[in-house]
Amino acid sequence: MYMAHERRRYILRLLEQRKHIRSSTLAQELGVTDETIRTDLVALQQRGLLQRVHGGARYTPPTAHNPECISQRLDSQLAQLVIPHIPPHARVYLEPGIISLAIIAHLGEHPCTIVTNSPDIMRAMAPPALPQELICTGGTLIKKEKLLENKVARQNLAVDVAILSPHAVTPTHISYRTPLRALWAQAAIMAAQLTLIAVPSQKLGQQAECSIPCTPNLLITEDHLPPEFHSTPVQTVPYISPDSFTAGDAFDY
């Protein structure tokens, strides 16, 4: 049986993985009543950690003004470790994903230029209050993948830092579910002087359909590393998922 705080951290982690969850599904998985789950979701929404919708809840990006996000949510914890490794005034490639959105939320006054082909990241960077510059690669919107494709921009990508959150990571390769995501990641790795990988530990040792060579300068993840990663340069946050963490339709980190 989960304690209330353990159950709520579990719910947050599921939201980061699945994007949305149903109350009835949570109640069944956790062996509690629907009313208990509703109470949990209300409490988490009041703290700005999720958004309640009819029948359940959905993921919302973190904000820099909510300390609960930093202490309770994995996306924010990983983002906080990434930012100190971005040199001042660097050009930084960010690919689509929730960790990229968390990085934007916690950049603060850190001076840099974000280069991206993600409409979601462009929207997040749009508020005039954000001091960072934004460069859009332009191109054709591939709606299914939520990114812009511009072959000329991809082949001439000019960045100092590549921050990647692939769908799967081994010590020598990263992989994605689609060829286009892999092509952009490969271009960013080739252009950048510094490559950072930021992923939950569940993606370590896994494989996805489209693989490319990558030995990152630093892997940022949870302290739950498979043995083959013990020689990889790594910085970690505490592992927060219970052993019974339920697999589901993965959200795009």
In whole angstroms, what is the distance from residue 110 CA to residue 40 CA? 35
Q: How far is CA 82 from CA 149, 210, 226, in A?
A: 26, 25, 21
Q: What is the DSSP track for 203-231?
A: GBT---SEEEE---SEEEEES---GGGTT
In whole angstroms, what is the distance from residue 50 CA to residue 12 CA? 8
**CATH code that applies to domain 67-237:** 3.40.50.1360
33 — pLDDT class (breaks 50, 70, 90): confident
pTM: 0.84
Q: How far is CA 77 from CA 24, 68, 192, in A?
A: 29, 11, 24
Which residues, including other chains, have CB under 8 Å from residue 114's CB and lie 6 or more apart?
A: 92, 94, 104, 121, 125, 132, 133, 134, 135
Mean pLDDT of 226-231: 92
Q: How far is CA 71 from CA 12, 24, 64, 76, 79, in A?
A: 12, 27, 12, 8, 12
In whole angstroms, what is the distance from residue 34 CA to residue 42 CA? 12
What pLDDT shows up at residue 240? 64
Give the relative orientation of helices 74-82 and 98-105 as an angle to the nearest 10 degrees. 60
Question: Which of 7-11, 126-130, 201-205, 211-215 has the largest mean confidence?
Answer: 211-215
20 — pLDDT class (breaks 50, 70, 90): confident
Q: Where are the domains of the chain?
A: 4-58, 67-237
By DSSP bridging, strand 147-149 and strand 173-176 are: unpaired
Using only C-alpha atoms, the chain has a radius of gyration, in whole angstroms, of 18
In whole angstroms, what is the distance from residue 13 CA to residue 240 CA? 8
Could you tell me how many residues make up the chain?
253
By DSSP bridging, strand 194-198 and strand 218-222 are: parallel
Q: Specify whether domain 4-58 bears CATH 1.10.10.10.
A: yes
Q: For the segment 84-128, what is each residue's pLDDT rounded down to a tens digit?
A: 999 999 999 999 998 999 999 999 999 999 999 999 999 999 888
252 — pLDDT class (breaks 50, 70, 90): very low
What pLDDT shows up at residue 195? 98
SS3 80: helix
